[in-house]
Structure 1
Amino acid sequence: MNAVTAIDTGGGHAPAPDALCAIATATQVEIAALGDPDAAFAAEWDALARHVAEPDAFAERWFAEASRHLAPPDMRLLRVRRGGQMIGLMPIVPATRYGRIPLRHVENWAHYHRFLGAPLLRQGHEVAAWTAILSALDATRDAGALLHVSGLVEHGPVHRALVDAAQALGRPCDTVHRIERAMLATDLSPDAYYAATVRKKKRKELGRLRSRLLEQGVVETRRLTPGDSLPDWIDAFLALERAGWKGAAGSALACTPETRAFFRDVVTGAHRAGKLDMIRIDLDGAAIAMLVNLLAPPGAFSFKTAFDERLSRFSPGVLLQIDNLQLLARGDIAWMDSCAVENHPMINSLWGERRAIVRVSVPLAGARRRALFTAARALEQGAAALRALRASRPVPTVESDA
């Protein structure tokens, strides 16, 4: 494990000599580089994930280790212990701009392929962990004016605990952005959920598309089994995604060495941890649609999907999502986060529930920090009000002489 270091927000100051901040007699926070977790720290991390307040595959060790391919050099890890037990873990990075505002602060680190940003917090210790994190950043010279946290499940145990911790410290926890994305949450069987959620007319149309696809050759839906070659499935997914519009745009995972290695390590790590589910539709033995799910019972996350765009007239990606409903039959999965953009037309038509994801900001201690936070929020709210005003104005019409 790398030596513990002080957080450095890029302000050019020398690191503080002692990065171990005593928050209370029994609670300590370490601010350290990720490095290669030694056996003891890896065991602590995995134990924390087993007793986490909120299931989050993106905060587990195997995902974090894979994410090192994408990590900036100044990323640090906050490790919170209480009474010798790990109760919190969160990657952070320094930032010099808050939106368009030049303002030094600290953010949780959540890259483009990480669809939640919450820390891992031990169940029953959520408020204590957040209090320790805020107090540690308060005491860190270069932490800037505020803590900005993205990717929190609104009103989930982690979000609620942050609000409570901030309130106890006499400071606000402002929601500065909010989206809703599709979610599957039900105690129904797969078939019953499909019938209850998708309109009858749409179900008939999708049935016709599946029949037309069956006319093209041998069609088979398969889930990854212990007898399958995981590297072959990974290669098939990367090739399928790169063959479509993402490849043409240069945004497919296979387009850069870093994202390709990240994806391979995520899938391999999830498989090793027993947290991987992959499903595909094959036509004459070749994959035409694939989906990667990351499991965090009782939940799951629809991580990545790809389909053969040459066969888009049969909607193989939609058909795969219907087949994927069988994941509910496992018994240990009660919900799935789509990880999709807000108002995604395809998944919104198949999944009936919604999950709100928020970004929040909390000022750090000190009069100057609070003044900077207040000014930044005023500018942020003013800009939002101006955008809303512009959006509400009617579009001018041009009269025709006809």
Structure 2
Amino acid sequence: MNLGGLQKLEGKNIRANGFRDSLSASKPQAMFHPVAELDNNLVDAWSELAGQASEPNIFYEQWFLRPALERLDHHHDLRLFLLWAGEPRHSQLLGLLPISPESRFGRWPVPHVQNWLHHNCFLGTPLVRKGCEQLFWEQMLKALDNGEWPGFLHINGMTIGGSLDQALRSVCSEQKRRCDLVHSAARALLQSDQDAETYYSETVRGKKRKELRRQAKRLDELGEITFSLHRDAKGLDQWIDEFLQLEQQGWKGHGGSALDSSEETGGFFRDALIGAAAAGQLERHDIRLEGTALAMLVNFHSNRGSFSFKTAFDESFSRFSPGVLLQLENLKILENPSIAWMDSCAAEGHPMIDSLWSGRRHIGRFSIELKGVSRRAIFRGLRLGEDLMAQIKGREVFDPTEV
């Protein structure tokens, strides 16, 4: 290593050590904050934390999580686990995770504590400041051990192989505490140094590209086709109305799972998009025929990451694949130097997005042992039962970190 590189490395180490020393001197404080008692001071610290997060997660940012807490059902004792650098509200916020006690684990009546997810929350990775990953888990596990929380800790929907996963496993190993990856799934991820056109030609097979060209040509024969990209709040209310109506007209609306099928989820969606726009983190795409929306797409950005949140399309035009054509426009995110990757937020094996995006992001569920004789008995009994069921069904949890 040359002298310049060594000086940079030493400077980085000095800054990191100085940060750790300052944390040690100020004595970080952990607390479980009632979700009904949020105020502007906390929201400001929360927003600042999100901007410095080790792993971006828009689903736990304040403009997304607050509307969910206000609009959607949750356990009455749901709390925000907060880790402060020093005195709460008068120091930097180092980490945040919504958690609540649960009486059931899947089909089994097993008490435990779990991070909060809802049907429109597709990632459960905590918001933790860069460099504080290990400290976060140490303080959280200590607080849970010393509290009245039941059973064990279950973290649902965390990125496998990321800095938070690595820190959790390291802390548990040091403390001789079991931390088991109990489920994993791989979903489509868009990440490449290639431009959109090159990526498309090398990822999507020729026969599929030919069919999409044919569909685009046939659609163009029906009238003027326009693609639009919006990154501000101009016309946002009307755009949201169109999106909700478009989704409601399709299979989700018929099945009762569309956002506008209930006042709560429709209101949550509207509040989240308005909040994202105010934070400068919203991106909207649409494809229109003579001004009428055929497909619409919502993306959220956070630091160098992006999340493809929701899409809706007019099913009467399904023979033209307007949703796929819109996703081809979305590939241009590869040419945005401020974005390094986009999470599809889609289920594993999704037939549409998996054929367009070649990357995969592994998401897992982790069960972590808490201290105490009864807690340990609950955890180990459950894990023994899960292992036996997995053997009977011939299933094995895939851990990409072991490949």
Gaps of 5+ in 1: 1-22, 390-402
What secondary structure is seen at the aligned counterpart in 1 of 2:366?
A: strand
Within the alignment, does 1:266 sit opposite 2:269 as a pair?
no
What CA deviation, in whole Å up to 9, does each residue of 1:143-185 have, x standing for no partner? 1110000011101011111111222221011001100001101
Question: How many residues in Structure 1 have an aligned counterpart in Structure 2?
Answer: 366
Bigger mean CA deviation after superposition, 331-340 or 364-373: 364-373
Bigger mean CA deviation after superposition, 109-118 or 63-72: 63-72
Distance in 2 (alpha carbons) for counterparts of 1:219 and 1:105: 52
Would the aligned equivalents of 2:232 and 2:277 in 1 still touch at CA under 8 Å?
no
Question: Which residue matches 1:70?
Answer: 72
1:81 maps to amino acid:
W
Distance apart, 1:228 and its partner CA: 3.4
Distance in 1 (alpha carbons) for counterparts of 2:197 and 2:365: 35
What CA deviation, in whole Å up to 9, does each residue of 1:8-58 have, x standing for no partner? xxxxxxxxxxxxxxx997122111212363222111101111111101111
Question: Which residue matches 1:6?
Answer: none
Q: 1:230 aligns with which of 218, 223, 236?
A: 236
Distance in 1 (alpha carbons) for counterparts of 2:315 and 2:385: 44
Within the alignment, does 1:138 sit opposite 2:141 as a pair?
no
Compared with structure 1, are the counterparts of its residues 301 and 225 closer, same or farther at alpha carbon in structure 2 (3 Å cutoff)? closer
Distance in 1 (alpha carbons) for counterparts of 2:293 and 2:128: 39
Give matches, 1:231-250, under 5 Å.
231-250=237-256
Question: Which residue matches 1:363?
Answer: 369
Gaps of 5+ in 2: 1-23, 396-403
Compared with structure 1, are the counterparts of its residues 24 and 140 closer, same or farther at alpha carbon in structure 2 (3 Å cutoff)? farther
Question: Which residue matches 1:121?
Answer: 128
Within the alignment, does 1:172 sit opposite 2:178 as a pair?
yes
Distance apart, 1:355 and its partner CA: 0.5
Bigger mean CA deviation after superposition, 256-265 or 77-86: 77-86
Question: Which residue matches 1:57?
Answer: 58
Compared with structure 1, are the counterparts of its residues 114 and 54 closer, same or farther at alpha carbon in structure 2 (3 Å cutoff)? same
Question: Which residue matches 1:95?
Answer: 102
Q: 1:372 aligns with which of 366, 375, 378?
A: 378
Give matches, 1:334-345, under 5 Å.
334-345=340-351
Question: Which residue matches 1:331?
Answer: 337
Q: 1:182 aligns with which of 165, 184, 188?
A: 188
What CA deviation, in whole Å up to 9, does each residue of 1:96-127 have, x standing for no partner? 11222222110000111010011101110101
2:38 maps to amino acid:
P
What CA deviation, in whole Å up to 9, does each residue of 1:218-255 have, x standing for no partner? 11110125483000110010000000000000110001
Would the aligned equivalents of 2:82 and 2:95 in 1 still touch at CA under 8 Å?
yes
Question: Which residue matches 1:33?
Answer: 34
1:199 maps to amino acid:
R
What secondary structure is seen at the aligned counterpart in 2 of 1:343?
A: coil
What secondary structure is seen at the aligned counterpart in 2 of 1:103?
A: coil
Distance in 2 (alpha carbons) for counterparts of 1:383 and 1:227: 50
Compared with structure 1, are the counterparts of its residues 221 and 36 closer, same or farther at alpha carbon in structure 2 (3 Å cutoff)? farther
Distance apart, 1:64 and its partner CA: 0.9
RMSD (Å) for aligned C-alpha atoms: 1.6
Bigger mean CA deviation after superposition, 157-166 or 310-319: 157-166
Give the TM-score taking structure 2 as reference length. Answer: 0.88
Would the aligned equivalents of 2:187 and 2:346 in 1 still touch at CA under 8 Å?
yes
Question: Which residue matches 1:16?
Answer: none
Would the aligned equivalents of 2:125 and 2:157 in 1 still touch at CA under 8 Å?
yes
Bigger mean CA deviation after superposition, 79-88 or 315-324: 79-88
Compared with structure 1, are the counterparts of its residues 276 and 99 closer, same or farther at alpha carbon in structure 2 (3 Å cutoff)? same
What secondary structure is seen at the aligned counterpart in 2 of 1:106?
A: strand
Distance in 1 (alpha carbons) for counterparts of 2:302 and 2:309: 12
Distance in 2 (alpha carbons) for counterparts of 1:372 and 1:241: 43
Distance in 1 (alpha carbons) for counterparts of 2:355 and 2:378: 43
Q: 1:202 aligns with which of 201, 208, 213?
A: 208
Question: Which residue matches 1:191?
Answer: 197
Give matches, 1:283-302, under 5 Å.
283-302=289-308
Distance in 2 (alpha carbons) for counterparts of 1:228 and 1:136: 45
Distance in 2 (alpha carbons) for counterparts of 1:355 and 1:225: 26
Distance apart, 1:333 and its partner CA: 1.0
The sequence identity of aligned pairs, in percent, is 45
Distance in 1 (alpha carbons) for counterparts of 2:59 and 2:337: 22
Give the TM-score taking structure 1 as reference length. Answer: 0.88
What secondary structure is seen at the aligned counterpart in 2 of 1:98?
A: coil
Would the aligned equivalents of 2:231 and 2:280 in 1 still touch at CA under 8 Å?
no
What secondary structure is seen at the aligned counterpart in 2 of 1:152?
A: strand
Distance in 2 (alpha carbons) for counterparts of 1:35 and 1:327: 37
What secondary structure is seen at the aligned counterpart in 2 of 1:114?
A: coil
Compared with structure 1, are the counterparts of its residues 24 and 78 closer, same or farther at alpha carbon in structure 2 (3 Å cutoff)? farther
Would the aligned equivalents of 2:53 and 2:127 in 1 still touch at CA under 8 Å?
yes
Distance in 1 (alpha carbons) for counterparts of 2:46 and 2:262: 29
What CA deviation, in whole Å up to 9, does each residue of 1:331-364 have, x standing for no partner? 2112100010100111111000001100000011
What secondary structure is seen at the aligned counterpart in 2 of 1:97?
A: coil
Distance apart, 1:217 and its partner CA: 1.2
What secondary structure is seen at the aligned counterpart in 1 of 2:254?
A: helix
Q: 1:80 aligns with which of 50, 62, 83?
A: 83
Distance in 1 (alpha carbons) for counterparts of 2:197 and 2:304: 20
